[in-house]
Structure 1
Amino acid sequence: MTTTSADGPIKSLSLRGRVVAISQLLVIAALLASNALLVTLLQRQLVHQLDDRLRAATVAAARLSDRAETPGEAAPRVRDAVERELTGDIYVAYLDADGQVEETPRPPKNSAPQLPDLNLEAVDSRDSRPFQSAARKGNGEWRVIAAPLNSGPSNVESSNAESSNFARRQKAEGASYAGIVVAASLNPINTTIRHLGVWMLVIDSLVLVLLAVVGWFAVRAGLRPLRRIETTAAAIAAGDLSSRVPPPASTRTELGRLSAALNGMLDRIEAGDAARAATNERMRTFIADASHELRTPLFGIKGFTELYRMGGMPERADVDTAMNRMEREAGRLVRIVEDLLLLARLDEEDTTADAHLPLHLTPMDLRTLAADALHDVRALAPERSVRLTGPGGGPPGGAPVLGDEARLRQVTSNLVGNAIAHTLPGTPVRIGVGTLGDLAVLELSDQGPGMTAEQATHVFDRFYRADTARARTQTGGAGLGLSIVNSLVTAHHGRVEVDTAPGEGTTFRVLLPLHPDSSVSHS
């Protein structure tokens, strides 16, 4: 058996249904409270009006001076006087000293009040205050005022002398009446209140139905932005990260701020997802390229060892040749692994505060590195024309920096090796050094085939090669040299620029912050 909590029906509704239901409940509570207050105030007002009329009728009946006449003769005058003061069903009676009804000048038409003990003391104690009494027949109620006659018309504007004359006249005429009772039925008031209650229920029901219909469509229109957000969230859950919430008319509202926040969050999610996808793609490419670069020398070593094991090297000269090839392949493996370790340490340096690759920074001049690079080119490729200039041409100049000389030599060595490996023999090379503004410049330019703009954007990627069809020989390298150059220069708070175009050669430009110390050697 399933049990449902008290708030189960509300929770099972949609947001629009909840808002309308809660609004209806609040309106119902407000209508019931206001109607109850209105009915109570109206009933009290009607009773007060009835009390005022009863007081007026009491005064009118008490002022009659001919009560010694027979009841038949006095009754018309009493009835006329009372009816002038109050219309409707009225009850008038005179009491003796013991509280017994002696005369009823206006007999009741249908019923009469059930009077309590109204002797002289009881009448005096009531002090002409209205009270309620049940009917003799039926379930009705009466509003009753009991007043002593010997006090005269105490409830009207009369003097004490007039009251005393009235009492002496009653005594001289032998009147035995001690009090008077005037009552009126509350049935008309109760009937009016009941009719009013019925009409209020009918009107309130119509109002609630109208408010429910209007509120349903009004809430539907008000929640339209939330439905758009819901649709966008569903599209995103389905994988469409490009979906956006329509911009709101105003960002000052809650929905406006929510829409703006969601769009901002979606922008960051989409950017992060794109970055992760690009990182994963680069990682897959890196792993594939690294595996290929490591596999080539390993397969060479493995091939020579299997050839030796199978007896394919009977002569000593064959063994020596194989050992030399294996040594070269092992050296190539070592260089690749060292380059990968260096790049990994540089990456850790970028993402953590620990010094995984400590740089020994000292004042130095880039002209020293430029001169060494000039000698390296002449030693590695004597057939090439190489010259030392300033940035872009002209005479070379001083370029004082604060750097790690060993790491910066690695930068120039990789740039020289890249220029020799990727250009034809005899291609001229230019080495420039000097300053540009507040930056020290070291550049290496060749007149080789150059690269396209697309190739230039990936030139610093690991294992990237502009010519993918070219075999990866020991002179071609593993495609890590320029990645190391870029990482080392970035570690020195500098940057590397590439200027190239197809058929116009390539220029790599290293830019480092100038060191203000002018005592650096310029030799």
Structure 2
Amino acid sequence: MRRLSLRARLLLLTAGLLLTGLTLVSAVVSDQLERFQLDRLDGQLRSMTELISRAAGPPPAENPAVRPDLLDPALELFGTPYVVYLDAGGAVAGSLHSSRAGGATLPSSGTLRTVPTDGTAVDLSAADGSQRWRAVARPAARWGGTVVSAAPLAETDATITQLRVSSLVAGAGLLVALTAAGWFALGRGLRPLRRIEHTAAAIAGGDLTRRVPVLAPPGTEIGHLAASLNTMLGQLEEAFAARAASEARMRTFVADVSHELRTPLFGIKGSTELYRMGALPEASDVDEAMRRIDREATRLTALTEDLLLLAQLDEAPEEQLDRAPMDLRTLAGDARQDLRALDPSRPVSLTGPGGVGAPGPAPVDGDEARLRQVVTNLAGNAAAHTPPGTPVRIGVGTAAGRAVLEVVDEGPGMTAEQADRVFNRFYRADRSRSRSGGANAGLGLPIARSLARAHGGDVELETALGEGACFRLALPLPARD
């Protein structure tokens, strides 16, 4: 069975509550009106009965001297169309009744005897059952009998019936009118939810840029809902974009790793195939092939260790460090000697940060072996990507509340696009540059930045095309006791 819409369910609930309310109000009003009319009639009957019960005696059962033209107005004045005198044995000793009430429409004598004489009003039925009567009885004061006063309830019943019919008709009309108004009001009130539904459908179809429009003031429930949904949608779009970027990086990473591993593996396999085919007849050829295999195996080992280190730094960077107090001046001096050993013609100067003054103290709480690896990578990058003889400056000291070691070269520099990607894994600004000994696989700078961030710092780059490059290792100073 198809479930009803929210609009229909709300309308049915509202209509049901309205119908219940109208029914209760109609029942209470009709009951109060009936009680009021009965109380008024009972008061008239008690007054009439009390007055007649003190009279001298009952009139004869058949009294032709009574004139209907005088009796009817008198009885109507007291609101008692029927008065009966019962003797001590319960027989009718006399009666007075309006000319409009007579015969079978009057209560029978048998029912009159059942009326209690304490003044309590009771309901009686007409002899022919055509209508109801209200009766009150009192004992006579001057003779041994009972006086019973009765009045028909036809007018009261007609009034109550008319009230109930009017309430039913008016309530039905009001219910129909309010139900129609509620249908349109609910449609207008739920319109923002339909727009939210359409937005959600568009997003489910793949349009992650869609947002819920401003449907209501921010302080309303719909406004809060729209704001919360837009915040959630923004986070979802960012999450999907991050996932897509991560997948793209993973595909690039896998392709680059495959390429980097395939090159040395092909060299090793090619050398072994030449040996197996007997294409290396001389001992010198075999020695050369073994040297090639050893070189490619060294590249594979270095690449594997770099990949393992990156994976460990991604998973738990702090666990890869063995911290101890140290000073970056030691690493700066060693880097200066390494650059001079690689290229004796290259001028290498040692200064303070920014090239100002002499080298200053740069105390840090770090892993010396890992930080030495960072500085070695930065110095090797300067040596590999600048022409021989290009001056290099190594600055060390403290700046802006941090320990700083910077490697500055006067080489060709990089474009903004290259600078943005230089810390990406396996990225090489010049892919045509030959690699030797496992170097230039595109992992040196990513490893350097990961190690720096594991220490709570970073590796920063300032460069421009034709203006050289400045790689700056910045680490937090040790906390003072």
The equivalent of 1:216 in structure 2 is 183
State the SS of the aligned residue for 1:116: helix
Tell me the distance in 1 between the aligned counterparts of 2:381 and 2:278: 40
Identity %: 52
Aligned-residue offset at 1:117: 6.2
State the SS of the aligned residue for 1:392: helix
Q: Deviations over 1:27-65 (max 9, x none)?
A: 111111111111111111111122222234435555666
State the SS of the aligned residue for 2:274: helix
Tell me the distance in 2 between the aligned counterparts of 1:117 and 1:96: 15
Checking the alignment, whether the CA contact within 8 Å between 2:303 and 2:438 is kept in structure 1 is no
Tell me the distance in 1 between the aligned counterparts of 2:375 and 2:59: 143
Query: Counterpart of 1:503 in structure 2: which amino acid?
Result: G
| Mapping of residues 158-177 of structure 1, within 5 Å | 167=142
Checking the alignment, whether the CA contact within 8 Å between 2:374 and 2:448 is kept in structure 1 is yes
Tell me the distance in 2 between the aligned counterparts of 1:75 and 1:55: 24
Name the CA shift for 1:54/1:29 in 2 (closer, same or farther; >3 Å). same
Checking the alignment, whether the CA contact within 8 Å between 1:360 and 1:403 is kept in structure 2 is yes
Aligned-residue offset at 1:17: 0.3
State the SS of the aligned residue for 1:387: strand
Tell me the distance in 2 between the aligned counterparts of 1:60 and 1:515: 114
The equivalent of 1:488 in structure 2 is 451
Query: Counterpart of 2:196 in structure 1: which amino acid?
Result: I
State the SS of the aligned residue for 1:71: coil
1:20 counterpart = 2:14: no
Name the CA shift for 1:319/1:390 in 2 (closer, same or farther; >3 Å). same
The equivalent of 1:85 in structure 2 is 78
1:73 counterpart = 2:65: yes
Checking the alignment, whether the CA contact within 8 Å between 2:350 and 2:395 is kept in structure 1 is yes
Q: How many residues align?
A: 475
The equivalent of 1:447 in structure 2 is 410
Tell me the distance in 2 between the aligned counterparts of 1:55 and 1:41: 21
Aligned-residue offset at 1:361: 2.2
User: TM-score of the superposition, structure 2-length normalised?
Assistant: 0.92
Q: Deviations over 1:164-222 (max 9, x none)?
A: xxx3xxx7xxxxx7232221111221122122211111111100100111111111122
Which one is further off, 310-319 or 259-268?
A: 259-268
List runs of 5+ in structure 1 lacking aligned partners.
Answer: 1-7, 151-166, 172-176, 519-523
Which one is further off, 209-218 or 460-469?
A: 460-469
Name the CA shift for 1:333/1:475 in 2 (closer, same or farther; >3 Å). closer
1:370 counterpart = 2:313: no
State the SS of the aligned residue for 2:280: coil
1:388 counterpart = 2:312: no
State the SS of the aligned residue for 1:320: helix
| Mapping of residues 347-426 of structure 1, within 5 Å | 347-350=314-317, 356-357=319-320, 359-394=321-356, 395-426=358-389
Q: Which residue of 27, 30, 35 maps to 1:44?
A: 35
Name the CA shift for 1:59/1:362 in 2 (closer, same or farther; >3 Å). closer
The equivalent of 2:195 in structure 1 is 228
Aligned-residue offset at 1:250: 4.1
Tell me the distance in 1 between the aligned counterparts of 2:251 and 2:295: 28
State the SS of the aligned residue for 2:316: helix
Checking the alignment, whether the CA contact within 8 Å between 2:409 and 2:468 is kept in structure 1 is yes
Q: Deviations over 1:318-376 (max 9, x none)?
A: 221221122111111111111111111111214xxxx641x232222211111111111
| Mapping of residues 276-287 of structure 1, within 5 Å | 276-287=243-254
The equivalent of 2:281 in structure 1 is 314
Tell me the distance in 2 between the aligned counterparts of 1:109 and 1:240: 89
Query: Counterpart of 2:86 in structure 1: which amino acid?
Result: L
1:304 counterpart = 2:297: no
Aligned-residue offset at 1:482: 0.4
State the SS of the aligned residue for 2:110: coil
Query: Counterpart of 1:375 in structure 2: which amino acid?
Result: Q
State the SS of the aligned residue for 1:433: strand
Name the CA shift for 1:82/1:59 in 2 (closer, same or farther; >3 Å). farther
Name the CA shift for 1:399/1:66 in 2 (closer, same or farther; >3 Å). closer
